Each structure stands twice: as C-alpha cells, then as structure tokens.
C-alpha cells in the first residue's frame, strides 16, 4: 500500500508528465505550421512519450492500491521565436523534471518504500537520456545560429534521433 506522501509525490509527477506532453504537443504544432516537419515529428513523438510516462505512473499507483489523479492542465505556450527557443525551453524543462523525479526518489527512501524506489529507477534512467538529447540539440542550434541552411539540415537530420529518444524496453 502506498503512503499518502508517496501517493501525492507520484500524483504530482503525473501532472508534470501530462503538462510536458501538452507542452511538447504545442511546440510540435508550432513547428509543423512553420514548415519544420522533421522537428514537428520529433516533438509529436516526444509528446507521445511523455503521455506514456504519465500513464505508467497512473497504472502503478492503481496497482499499488492508491488513487491516481488525472489532472486539469493549463493551456501551454504556443508561440515561439524560433527552434533555438524551443530547444532551450525543452532542456530547462527536462532539468526541472529530473529534479522533481529526484524528489520522488528521496521521498521513497525517507518512507522506506523500496518498491516505488525501484519503479522510479526507470524514470531516473529516462531523464539521463532526455537531458543528454536536449543538450545535444541545444548545442547544435548554438552552432547553427541564424544560418537558414543549417536550420534546414537540423530539421532534416533530427529524424535520425526519433528512435533513440525512446529507451530500450519501452
């Protein structure tokens, strides 16, 4: 049985994953309308992954006899200056998600809930990949700057990153 503290921590994480999914969906839609189809595909996939992260938490809480809360969400930002802004936001957002996951892991240790601690290790590993991927994209865009040709190639080449955005076994 989950303690109230762990249940609340997991429900907060559900909200963050759901908000992330919505956030990336808004970015995907913007990229598609701006003609960045490669980036749009990458972000639609990323949005789907965040939804999977959310559902894993919902089901885990329910399997442990708790009560998962499906949250109401605020409308995400939908206007962006350029791709650099989008990927900067993603990197900052993923760093925030990692720190929130670490808080859940801390709560598991203080409550001696080793089952949830074990479950959360999947998220710890996932964040390592997500942060590294986000940082990689930010670094590339820094090099490209305002160069239109570079932006075109970035949009074309990001397709290759879509499968590796998903960790094995998902």
Q: Which residues bind ligand FEO (CB under 6 A)?
A: 17, 20, 50, 53, 94, 97, 130
* Shortest separation between residue 34's beta carbon and ligand FEO, angstroms: 22
Question: Is the CB of 20 or the CB of 116 nearer to ligand FEO?
Answer: 20
What's the min distance (Å) between Cβ of 110 and ligand FEO?
Answer: 23
Residue nearest to ligand FEO (CB): 53
CB of 85 to ligand FEO, least distance (A): 18
**Per-residue tokens: 35:** 């003609």
Tokens of 103: 């808080």
CB of 35 or CB of 99, closer to ligand FEO: 99
Q: Smaller CB distance to ligand FEO: residue 25 or 97? A: 97
SS3 call for 71 = coil
Residue with Cβ nearer ligand FEO (107 or 151) = 107
Distances (CA, A) of 12 to 30, 108, 111: 27, 14, 17
Cβ 94 to ligand FEO shortest distance, Å: 5
Q: Which long-range contacts (CB under 8 A, 24 or more apart) does 102-109 make?
A: 103/9, 104/6, 104/9, 104/10, 104/12, 104/13, 107/5, 107/6, 107/9, 108/6
Pick the closer one to ligand FEO by CB: 57 or 151.
57
| Token pair for 64 | 């442990």
Q: How far is the CB of 22 from ligand FEO (least distance, A)?
A: 12
Which of 129, 152, 128 minimizes the C-alpha distance to 141? 152
Burial (CB count <10 Å: 0-12, 13-18, 19+), residue 132: exposed
């Amino acid at each position: 049985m989950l303690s109230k503290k762990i249940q609340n921590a997991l429900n907060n994480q559900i909200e963050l994953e759901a908000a992330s999914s919505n956030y990336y969906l808004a970015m995907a839609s913007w990229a598609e309308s701006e003609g960045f189809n490669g980036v749009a595909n990458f972000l639609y996939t990323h949005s789907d992954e965040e939804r999977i992260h959310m559902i894993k938490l919902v089901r885990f809480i329910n399997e442990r006899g708790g009560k998962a809360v499906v949250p109401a969400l605020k409308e995400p930002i939908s206007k962006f200056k350029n791709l650099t802004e989008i990927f900067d936001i993603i990197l900052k957002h993923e760093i925030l998600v990692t720190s929130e996951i670490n808080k859940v892991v801390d709560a598991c240790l203080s409550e001696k809930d080793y089952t949830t601690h074990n479950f959360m290790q999947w998220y710890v590993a996932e964040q390592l990949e997500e942060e590294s991927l986000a940082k990689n994209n930010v670094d590339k865009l820094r090099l490209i700057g305002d160069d239109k040709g570079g932006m075109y190639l970035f949009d074309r080449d990001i397709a290759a990153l879509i499968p590796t955005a998903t960790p094995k076994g998902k």
